[in-house]
Copies of this chain bind each other. A is one copy, B any other.
Amino acid sequence: MRVDGRKCNQIRPVKITRNYTKYAEGSVLIENGDTKVICTASIEDKVPPFLKGRGEGWITCEYNMIPRATQVRKARDINRGRIDGRTMEIQRIIGRALRSVVDLRAIGEKTIWVDCDVIQADGGTRTASISGAFVALVDAVNKLHKQNPFTIYPIRDFVSAVSVGIVNDTRMLDLCYLEDSRAKVDMNVVMTDSGEFVEIQGTGEQNPFTREDLKELLALAEKGIKSMISAQKDSLKMDSLWIGTGGE
């Protein structure tokens, strides 16, 4: 039994609220257990200099926590003078996850800014961010699509993420903070609805892990991803992206 009564292969309750704030083209509050993240997608009609004139779009992601999202208050980046390595790593993984299912040529010369602001952190903020940001991204893309339909609908597949790990010699799905802080092996998996991996990041800093561990953890992750994508579909009232414009 886990600290919150879940089974080892069970994810925490997921709640996705769309149109959470009113200005962003896509705005989602995702709650994964006690982890809560506001994900917005904002569209800008230009691309960064390195892409200018190539007819492609770009997706850039930023991640942050409000200072008291955590048990101990964490100073703001601007007061510490730099973004820490963990935040950098998370921003990069969110960006790669979203770009992996988007046809950037189909978007044209636009930048989609994805902001993930954690308001309460109880483990798994990076995976919740990916899962929530995907829904905000779909809403933003659909808003564009309604105004001016894309020739090729730019989102190719659903994408979602979960964490898995080994805690007290037990392999577990979707670790909460208490579990995460004791985990010997910690792995984040990003996967598409068609069952392919976008990203695997597994670390056994204190205790290296075996090929068998890896296999079992990936099986758990796959199960979690399915639940998470199912929550995304319910929220978007879309069963599949292939139909095209979908949505509201």
Binding site for B on A (CB under 8 A): 21-24, 27, 34, 36, 38, 40, 42, 44, 62, 64, 66-71, 73, 76-79, 81-86, 88-89, 91-92, 96, 99-100, 113, 115, 117, 119-120, 187, 191-192, 194-211, 213-214, 218
Question: Residue A89 contacts which of B21, B89, B187 (CB distance < 8 angstroms)?
Answer: B89
Give chain B nearest CB distance to A134 CB in angstroms: 14
Rounded to whole angstroms, the CA-CA distance of A197 and B73 in the bound complex is 32
Contact B100 A206 (CB under 8 A): yes
Question: Residue A214 contacts which of B84, B197, B206, B210 (CB distance < 8 angstroms)?
Answer: B197
- Decide: A120 near B22, CB < 8 A? Known: A42-B67, A78-B82, A208-B197: yes
Number of copies of this chain that the complex holds: 6
Contact B119 A38 (CB under 8 A): yes
- Decide: A21 near B119, CB < 8 A? Known: A42-B68, A113-B67, A199-B203: yes
Give chain B nearest CB distance to A143 CB in angstroms: 14
Residues of B within 8 A of A198 (CB): 203-205, 208
Question: Residue A91 contacts which of B70, B85, B203, B204 (CB distance < 8 angstroms)?
Answer: B85
28 cross-chain CB contacts under 8 A = A21-B36, A21-B120, A23-B70, A38-B119, A40-B67, A42-B73, A62-B67, A64-B66, A67-B113, A73-B113, A76-B78, A77-B77, A85-B92, A96-B203, A99-B205, A100-B205, A100-B207, A119-B119, A187-B200, A191-B208, A195-B210, A196-B209, A197-B208, A197-B213, A198-B208, A200-B201, A200-B202, A200-B214
